[in-house]
Amino acid sequence: MSFFNRLRSLFGDAPKDDAGSPAPMIDCEEALSVVHDFLDGELEGVPHDQVKAHFDACQRCYPHLRLEEQYRQAMRRAASEEQAPDGLKVKLMELIAEADA
């Protein structure tokens, strides 16, 4: 049993496989490769609980998760504070139409 699986079994919230045994912990590479999908709630191929358990237990990966969360929060704050000029959308649509021609 890996260190992470032992940790999860101690806390009692380890995701279970179909047989009711603790599901194997995903590795750092897999967790980091799906961090954006995890935050978007759009995971495919790996259960949300397994990814969450990894980020909760891994001191190496957790800072990456927090950085992505903080970046997204900063982008939302920045986007809500400033509006694009009124004519920008019109100008962009004109440029797109010219590029398509």
pLDDT score for 43: 93
pLDDT score for 66: 96
Is 48 within 8 Å of 87 (Cβ atoms)?
Answer: no
DSSP letters, the chain, are --HHHHHHHHHT---B-TTSSBPPPPPHHHHHHTHHHHHHT---SS-HHHHHHHHHH-TTTHHHHHHHHHHHHHHHHHHHH-PPPTTHHHHHHHHHHHHH-
Convert the pLDDT of each residue in 18-71 to its tens digit. Answer: 556 566 789 999 999 999 999 999 999 899 999 999 999 999 999 999 999 999
Convert the pLDDT of each residue in 64-96 to its tens digit. Answer: 999 999 999 998 888 887 777 878 888 988 999
Model pTM score: 0.58
